[in-house]
């Protein structure tokens, strides 16, 4: 009898805790003594200079980009440029500016409310295109647009994750 009760309790615990563990939060937990905390204080990571803010990032991208690349960027459409360059210059930024493990620049973007790496990358590509075109950057407005898009995507994701049940009324 004790074994049966123990077994039932284990099943109940597993059944109710599994969905809780599967919940995702919008913001990843970052511990106080993690690699992240160390990285956000450094000006260089793995030999690469890490900008501290958007103006420094624009200056770094200017140094790294050829005039030909800038001319092509000027011709692009803002609505699609982020997705088109995601795996080119976007991948370079994500990797070298250490968006995954944290850097002082990714921390700056997180402070603006951008937590998803794809959002950080696309945000920076759009900002750089605006910079190259000599348009106003409107950093905060653009960040809010990305935050809203991410919330909509998250809501759609949650709306589509349903539990199938047996309907015995049929």
Tell me whether residue 5 is in a domain. no
Tell me whether residue 39 is in a domain. no
Which is it for strands 48-49 and 44-45: parallel, antiparallel or unpaired?
antiparallel
Contact 135, 127 (CB under 8 A): no
Burial 65-79 (b: 16+ CB within 10 A, else e): eeeeebeebeebeee
Structural domain total, the chain: 1
Tell me whether residue 147 is in a domain. yes
Tell me whether residue 22 is in a domain. no
Q: What is the pLDDT of residue 26?
A: 53
Q: What is the pLDDT of residue 128?
A: 98
Structural domain harbouring 148 = 52-159
For residue range 113-130, list pLDDT tens digits in order: 999 999 999 999 999 999
Tell me whether residue 112 is in a domain. yes
Q: Considering the entire predicted model, what is its pTM?
A: 0.75
Q: What is the pLDDT of residue 27?
A: 56
Q: What is the pLDDT of residue 15?
A: 59
3-state secondary structure 25-83: CCCCCCCCCCHHHHHCCCCEECCEECCCCHHHHHHHHHHHCCHHHHHHHHHCCHHHHHH
Regions of the chain where pLDDT drops below 70? 6-7, 9-33, 161-170
Q: What is the pLDDT of residue 39?
A: 93
Q: What is the pLDDT of residue 32?
A: 60
Tell me whether residue 14 is in a domain. no
Residue 120 tokens, joined:
């950080």
Tell me whether residue 27 is in a domain. no
């Amino acid at each position: 009898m004790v074994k049966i009760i123990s077994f039932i309790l284990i099943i109940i615990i597993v059944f109710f805790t599994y969905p809780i563990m599967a919940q995702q939060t919008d913001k990843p937990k970052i511990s106080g003594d993690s690699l992240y905390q160390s990285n956000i204080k450094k000006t260089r990571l793995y030999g690469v200079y890490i900008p501290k803010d958007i103006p420094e990032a624009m200056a770094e991208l200017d140094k790294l980009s050829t005039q030909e690349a800038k001319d092509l960027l000027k011709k692009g459409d803002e609505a699609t440029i982020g997705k088109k360059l995601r795996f080119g210059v976007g991948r370079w930024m994500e990797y070298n500016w250490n968006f995954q493990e944290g850097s002082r620049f990714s921390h700056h973007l997180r402070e603006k409310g951008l937590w998803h790496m794809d959002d950080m990358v696309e945000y920076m590509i759009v900002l750089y295109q605006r910079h190259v075109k000599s348009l106003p950057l409107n950093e905060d407005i653009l960040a809010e647009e990305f935050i809203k898009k991410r919330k909509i995507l998250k809501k759609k994701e949650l709306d589509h994750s349903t539990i199938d049940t047996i309907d015995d009324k049929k």
